[in-house]
Structure 1
Amino acid sequence: MLKFRSLGFPPIKRKLSNVKPIKDFELTCGLEIHTQLSTTNKLFSGSINNPFESISKPNVNTSYFDIALPGTQPILNYEAVLFALKLALSLKSTVNLASQFDRKHYFYGDQPQGYQITQHYHPFSKGGYLTLSKEFDEINEPSKEIRITQLQIEQDTARSIYHQSLQQNSDEETLIDFNRSNVPLIELVTEPDFHDTLQVKAFIKKYQNLVRQLKISTGDLEAGSIRIDVNVSVNEHPRVELKNLPNTSSIVNAINYEYKRQVNVLKNNSLIATQAVETRGWDGSKTTVLRSKESTMDYRYMADPELPPISLDADVLCEVAKTLLKDADECIRELMSEPYNLSKKDAKILTIQNEFNELYNNEELRTYYVDTFKLYTNSMEDNKNGDPKIVVSWILHELLGNLKKLEISLNHVSRDMLSPGKLAEFLNIVHSGVISNSNAKQLLFHILEEYKLEGCNKSIDTNFVTLIKKYDLEVTKKIDYAVLEDGCKEIIKDLNNPKMIESIKSGKKKNSIKYLVGLGMRKYQGKIQAQELETMFKKVLDIK
């Protein structure tokens, strides 16, 4: 028999609370989102773009330009321009056919040039929007359009690492790792269209899904691929900029705290800030002042003399637009409609890219499902009792779980040994009752594991009828119900748990009978269908 392997349980997700509005005090927020692009090379040099190289290997992905060696000049990486173009078009933003790079002057240890190359006067694109809905994004309003102010391309800084010096009586040292220096960024600035944290959370999640779907960024907040600053104001008073927000929970908690703080200030008839923007940090429990107008820097923006404008032809925009995928919400609606009739949860899993990985992307996953579904339902003409719902169940819960555990890409499997046609054939065999669900799951894992062990060799045998006979996995066709009844009684006796049995019989724990069925499946090695076992246990326990 094949050995069953558990695939574990999904992680527990925590729900974040929405800010509670206080009468006569309206919250207004805008976001500034910095997104690291997953280009092969950095923005203005040929260095490998891998900003998350282990801290134990600092400064391994650097060039002379990245460390600002005098005399070095920038050379634009046009892959970053392509990525920016994909995002701008997806957000319905108006692309500037002649955008320009500028120098933003300041000096920190993590920016040794003395300036950052960004786009201040002529950004890459302006305008655009991202639409949120109550149906798919869990906001209170039926629909909410978040307007985009602009998108600009810029370079990231190096990373500062703080630790105590080993020398006696020395202050804290700051070390600089240039692996992140000159990594390409897109800075996206929204209009102040957010009025509660549900909208903020929904926008961040939808934006993460978008950059992952476009394959331009990993979209991870915790890892720093996306870094977000929030501008918060109450009743259109001067805004406060919040920084040092490492994840969604920090963003939500910081907004909640800052909203209440500003309301208290206004109730005491004080000014939020005397004349201009105040910048505050988040320490995990409260916001604290970082700088105010008196210490705000003059960045002395100027056009970069070493970089010409980015000149784009309108035809390029049209060609790139053709490569963009269908809107995610539209895909979800299609999957929830005829003929698929999926739940919203399953439709989202097939559509939304929740993580950036090399095993599969949601476009190919959705295509694989649709192709399998069509082939399976077409074959239902010969099998009138077929159940189309098992297609999504097997793909999402069994196939994907196995692929993740074995670290096999869906692209390889679907191309080589488990095409949509093969999976549809397998599901027909399962539904016809030739093999039990539990044994079918073990068989699927077995052929995938063998495929992995053979170096993903497509010659792996996927003749399911032959394999079922080879491993003696066929369901018993003629059941001796008297023998089966004795076997079920023996299972209950060996369990020796009168309390559980009584709770099943009384109806307090009806689902516990599934545990008995599981014991029966193990005893009969999956050769008796679960429905037969459940029926017999109910008979033995006199459950109606």
Structure 2
Amino acid sequence: MARIPTAELSRYLLSGQINRQGCLRLRRTPFLPRRPPCHNIRPLSTTTPPTSPAVVVVPLRKQLKDQAKALKSSGSSPRKKKKNSDNQTVPGWELTVGIEIHAQLNTSRKLFSPALVPESSLEEKPNTHVSPFDLAIPGSQPLFQPDTLIPAVRAALALNCEIEPVSYFDRKHYFHWDQPAGYQITQFYHPFARHGKIVLYSRDGIAAEDGDRIEVGIQQVQMEQDTAKTLAQPGGVNWLDFNRVGVPLIEIITRPEIHHPATAAALVRKVQMLLGAVDACTSGLEAGGLRADVNVSVRRPGEDKKLGQRTEIKNLSSFKAVEDAIIAERDRQIAVLEAGGTVAGETRGWSLGGTETRRLRGKEGEVDYRYMPDPDLGAVVIGKDLVEFLGRSMGVLPDEEVEGLMGRYGLTAKDAMALMLLDEGGRVEYFYEVLGELEGRLGGEGKGEGSYALLAANWCLHELGKLTEGEDAEPRTGLVTEFVAAGDLAAILYHLHRRKITAKTAKALLWGVFNCEVAPGGVTDAIERGGLWFQELSEEEYAMLADKVVEGEEGVLAEFLRFKQGKSKGYPQGKLMFLVGKMMKMGPEQNLDPASVKRVLGERIEGVYLPQLEGEEK
């Protein structure tokens, strides 16, 4: 048979056009009915027909909210269920979970072809980043791209794995339209990394039942190629975008050593943080750069020596989905076993905002995939010198970073973790930049490092977040830190720390910078032009204002006197804050410092008003 031209094969694979001459002609036979053409699968063209609806990408959070509203309006909203923190165990049953995490490596080339990895599947034109091998064109050969090893090894080292000096690729056979070759190239038998571990702490969000610390083993980390992207369209039509075929992935396989749903979610979150810290992964779970599959089984610990029959839940896209899906599948399996049934080994799915897992297909095993060594690829040899160099150059890992934020700067574990997780690690870098600018401005004026570090952390976490999350927030594309330069925030905090402006003025300046009403580097000029400098009242003026506030508040002062005389157990903090609020409203707000107001009121109550009350009682 004559060789078929590549252009002819391309038309067939990409457009469904068949040359009916020669061996490609479809003939009718009396014993083999002609197969109708398949119209429900077609490649995604670079131009969308005018009549085809545009594909709208809905953010994950909005999907969850819309589904919850739809359930509520339909009257089919499920009964209120337990909080996940109270639903980590079921008496008489033991849960066991193993996790498989697929992460896209941060490389510019695909795993086995020189085609460029698309930077964004939403912005790149479909089917423009493909090579003949990606489309399984006959005669094309895989060409391993050595650059993909760098982020893969860095990821394995961050997971405390042993790097294998020699590893091999295998073919995993299955037939689906998203895999043109009919097999996926992976590393099943001889992966490049083994025997790792992840240490999880209570601050990572593990279940209370696991105590303060738990270790989870990593069985292996293997490289493999991604599949095509399927876009479902109305009318049972599916479009295929082959840009994603061959994109380099690593699959991280844990040992079945997790026994609580919250700990499973914490592990996925920790892996994402580790991969981001060593620049190995392109993006996180909810952005699509990382996907999690969980294997769930249950057993009665006193009766069963072996683990129960496991089921796999595929493609979980958020940390909450990991925890919720495990709880739902655990409860389903327990109900089946308690009813006398048998848990089937199968692959199940999970919908966002759902309450139950659903069956997708029977579970494939090693025999079903017909693993075999890939005959077109040689061994991957990783030198010890490369491993040592990458180990030395990885920098500070998240646990060490969090300990430093807590120990050196006095941050709480919650705030330290939030800084690490926000913007995929970008927010903690921004915090260090702001802190450096602030330290340079303060020089020797700072009253201890922690005093202004906590102020900077609070604004980097909370005040910046208000710019895009409140009702008055303006929607922007990009990270909030891209609109507020670290130097401008440091200038605001410098004047606030030195009590030259009020907190209200500082927040107004931050909004001004964010909305481009304050020129870059022009914070101090804006304060000068607006006459925003804080001119605080004197001690005598504070005292006079406090006397006015306390007039007619004998009942409030009586509460303080009862506490002083031991007739009341708790200090009337609420009464004090009532007086503080009243004083802030009565006085000139632009000249009042809330801390000074609280201090002066406390001193006047203890030193003046209570002695007067005691004298009147006598």
TM-score w.r.t. the length of structure 1 is 0.75
Which structure's relative contact order is higher, taking Cα pairs within 8 Å and 6+ residues apart? 1
1:115 CA drift (Å): 1.2
Is the counterpart of residue 75 in structure 1 residue 139 in structure 2? no
Aligned: 1:84 with 2:152 = yes
What residue number does 2:238 align with? 174
Letter in 2 for 1:440: A
Q: Could you tell me whether the CA contact under 8 Å between 1:52 and 1:180 is conserved in 2?
A: no
| Aligned partner of 1:142 among 205, 209, 212 | 212
Letter in 2 for 1:393: N
TM-superposed deviation, 1:208:
1.6
Measure, in 2, the Cα distance between the counterparts of 1:261 and 1:478.
66
Matched residue type, 2:413 = K
Q: Which residue of 1 aligns with 2:248?
A: 184
State the match for 1:199 in structure 2. 263
Q: Deviations over 1:152-201 (max 9, x none)?
A: 11111012223343xxxxxx222212232212111110000011112111
| Aligned counterpart, 1:231 | 295
Aligned equivalent of 1:118 = 186
Provide the rounded CA distance (Å) in 1 between the counterparts of 2:95 and 2:180: 38
Do residues 434 (structure 1) and 493 (structure 2) align? no
Counterpart check, 1:265 vs 2:329: no
Q: Aligned to 2:409, what secondary structure does the other structure show?
A: coil
Which residue of the other structure, out of 125, 129, 134, is the alignment partner of 1:61?
129
| Identical residues among aligned pairs (%) | 31
8 Å contact from structure 2 (residues 194, 219) kept in 1: yes
1:365 matched to 2:436: no
**Would the aligned equivalents of 1:45 and 1:65 in 2 still touch at CA under 8 Å?**
yes
The secondary structure found in structure 2 opposite 1:22 is coil
Shift of 1:269: 4.6
Q: Deviation string for 1:401-455 (max 9, x for gaps)? A: 67998857579945xx559xxx3x76454333333232234345546766x987x
Report if the CA contact (8 A) 1:58-1:179 is conserved.
yes
Return the match for 1:308 from 374, 378, 386.
378
| Structure-2 change in CA distance of 1:99 and 1:375 (3 Å) | farther
1:154 paired to 2:213: no
SS in 2 for 1:355: helix
CA distance in 2, matches of 1:137, 1:19: 14
Paired residue for 2:278, among 214, 222, 236? 214
Are the counterparts in 1 of residues 537 and 591 from structure 2 also a CA contact under 8 Å? no
CA–CA distance in structure 1, aligned partners of residues 242 and 296 of structure 2? 32
- The equivalent position to 2:167 in structure 1, one of 82, 85, 99, is 99
Please identify, of 249-258 and 111-120, the stretch whose mean Cα deviation from structure 2 is larger: 249-258
Q: Output one character per residue of 1:262-298: Cα deviation in whole Å (capped at 9) or x when no partner.
A: 223333454434xxx4333335333344333699863
Alignment RMSD: 4.5
1:194 and 1:344 map into 2 onto residues whose CA distance is: 23
In structure 1, what residue type is equivalent to 2:166? A
SS at match of 2:392: helix
- Secondary structure class of the residue paired with 1:113: coil
* Aligned counterparts of 1:134 and 1:531: Cα–Cα separation in 2: 34
Instruction: Specify which of 336, 356, 363 is matched with residue 286 of structure 1.
Output: 356
2:201 matched to 1:133? Answer: yes
Distance change (3 Å), C-alpha of 1:223 and 1:293: closer
Q: Which stretch has the larger CA shift, 260-269 or 200-209? A: 260-269
Compared CA separation, residues 429 and 244, structure 1 to 2 (3 A) = closer
Query: Structure 2: how far apart are the matches of 1:386 and 1:209?
Result: 28
Q: Is the 8 A contact 1:89 1:321 kept in 2?
A: yes
Amino acid at match of 2:222: Q
Letter in 1 for 2:377: L
Question: Quick one: distance in 2 between partners of 1:176 and 1:475?
Answer: 62
C-alpha contact 2:438 2:493 (8 A) present in aligned 1: no
Q: CA contact under 8 A between 2:106 and 2:281: conserved in structure 1?
A: yes
More displaced 10-residue stretch of structure 1: 372-381 or 236-245: 372-381
Q: State the distance in 1 between where 2:365 and 2:387 align.
A: 42
By how many angstroms is 1:258 displaced?
2.3
Query: Counting helix residues as a fraction of each chain, which structure ranks higher?
Result: 2
- CA deviation vs aligned residue, 1:72-94 (integer Å, no higher than 9, x gap): 33333333211111110011101
Query: Structure 1 stretch 236-245 or stretch 93-102: which is displaced more?
Result: 236-245
Comparing 222-231 with 259-268, which one deviates more in the overlay? 259-268
Match of residue 12 from structure 2: none
Residue pair 1:242, 1:282 contacting (<8 A) in 2 also = yes
Matches of 2:586 and 2:125 in 1, distance apart?
Answer: 54
| CA-CA distance at 1:31 after TM superposition | 0.7
Alignment partner of 1:356 is 2:424: yes
Distance 2:143 2:232 in 1: 31
Determine which of 353, 373, 390 is the counterpart of 2:455: 390
- Contact conserved, 1:65 with 1:74, CA < 8 A, in 2? yes
Hey, what's the Cα distance between the residues in 1 that align with 2:233 and 2:497? 61
Task: Report SS of the residue matched to 1:356.
Answer: helix
Counterpart in the other structure of 1:169: none
State the one-letter code of the partner of 1:67.
L
Q: Normalising to structure 2: TM-score of the pair?
A: 0.66
More divergent stretch after superposition (107-116 vs 137-146): 137-146
Cross-structure match for 2:20 = none
* Equivalenced residues, count: 489
Q: 1:23 to 1:123 in 2, by over 3 A?
A: same
**CA distance 1:220–1:334, change in 2 (3 Å):** closer
Match of 1:6 in 2: none
Give matches, 1:375-524, under 5 Å: 376=442, 378-380=444-446, 389-398=454-463, 413-414=485-486, 417=487, 423=490, 427=493, 429-443=495-509, 446=512, 460-461=521-522, 464=524, 468-476=527-535
Task: State yes or no: 1:21 paired with 2:86.
Answer: no
In 1, Cα distance between equivalents of 2:320 and 2:215: 23
Residue identity matched to 1:255: I
Aligned equivalents of 1:58, 1:361: Cα separation in 2: 32
**Aligned with 1:329 (options 390, 399, 417):** 399
Who is 1:240 aligned against? Answer: 311
- Counterpart-to-counterpart distance in 2, 1:18 and 1:183: 40
